[in-house]
Amino acid sequence: MRRWMLIMWRLIKTYVGDARSLDLVEPESIDLIATHPPYASIIPYCHDHEGDLSSVHNIAEFAAKMGKVAGECMRVLSPGKHCATLMGDSRRNKHFILITPRVLMSFLEAGFILREDIIKMQWKMKSTREKWFGKKYDFYLIRHEHLYVLRKPDAGERTTKFKESMKWW
């Protein structure tokens, strides 16, 4: 058992970089992708770092950049395997901002099939730890995220039966 674990350990490779450019990863070599991208201008992760998605303020631009991520995920993922991405929505100027459908559409545009949309409750976020003054004005906290589980079709797979779970526009 110990030898097996050592052999498996050697098979795991880790890269640090930009998910929009996975040049070090061979095409169709990954069996599972799990990603939790930074939300557009919600929490700045890298100050003054070119290409940091958390610094993008324009939602359309953020969705376009996520489209590049989706394209690279499609390229490196093995046929029939899954990609899971966790995203949430936001508020700006006291209004709800839809980020998750745009990210989902980016992945569907890249050719993925939506397998599941799992709603994940958010706990102990900065906004929920502090006193919520908006409650008396009927404003609600955003207390969930979407975990989209997407599947790359097998080579030559007939996908017409999944047309309601794929790009429809």
How high is the pLDDT of residue 13? 78
- The domains of the chain, with CATH numbers, are 26-154 (3.40.50.150)
How high is the pLDDT of residue 93? 79
Q: Which amino acid is at 34?
A: A
| Strands 95-97 and 30-35, sheet pairing | unpaired
Strands (DSSP E) found in the chain: 30-35, 77-87, 90-92, 95-97, 113-121, 144-151
Helix 59-76 vs helix 100-109: crossing angle, to nearest 10 = 40
How high is the pLDDT of residue 119? 95
How high is the pLDDT of residue 48? 65
How far apart (Å, rounded) are the C-alpha atoms in residues 131 and 125?
12
CB proximity list for 150: less than 8 A, separation 6 or greater: 82, 83, 84, 85, 107, 108, 112, 113, 114, 115
CA torsion 120→124→127→131, rounded to 10°? 130
| DSSP states of 90-130 | EEETTEEE--HHHHHHHHHHTT-EEEEEEEEE--S-HHHHS
How high is the pLDDT of residue 15? 80
How high is the pLDDT of residue 42? 58
How far apart (Å, rounded) are the C-alpha atoms in residues 152 and 75?
10
- Tell whether pTM > 0.85: no
Tens digits of pLDDT across the chain (169 residues): 556 555 555 567 788 888 889 999 999 999 999 998 876 655 555 666 666 666 677 888 889 999 999 999 999 999 999 999 999 888 877 788 899 999 999 999 999 999 999 999 877 665 544 555 666 555 667 778 999 999 999 999 999 999 999 999 8
How far apart (Å, rounded) are the C-alpha atoms in residues 37 and 55?
12
